[in-house]
Amino acid sequence: MEYIAGVLIAVLNQGLLNWRMRQLTHKNIMDPKQVINLARISLIERLMLVGLLLVFAMQQYDPLSVVVSFFIINLGFAFYKNVS
């Protein structure tokens, strides 16, 4: 169950990032100030939500397993995006 919790949190993290990226392309924002502001908001949202979920998961399950599965899935997403 520890691994599933880490995987679900990693998928949520990537989903939030992709959602914000799609918002950026759909709104066709060209002003650098607005782009940086949207990136800052996205970072804070993901940091708070994913951080809190990781803390709760590590309290319930083995912390090392949760963190390792979270990072492995995030690295997998990053590698997949670079390859495709």
Q: Rounded distance, CA 16 to CA 50, Å?
A: 10
Mean pLDDT, residues 55-62? 90
Contact in structure between 1 and 63 (CB atoms under 8 Å) = no
More confident residue, 10 or 31: 10
pLDDT score of 81? 65
Under the banding of pLDDT at 50, 70 and 90, the label for residue 32 is confident
More confident residue, 80 or 70: 70
Q: pTM of the entire structure? A: 0.76
Under the banding of pLDDT at 50, 70 and 90, the label for residue 82 is low
CB within 8 Å of 50: residues ≥ 6 apart: 9, 12, 13, 16
DSSP H helices in 1-84: 2-27, 32-60, 63-83
Query: Residue 84 pLDDT more than 70?
Result: no
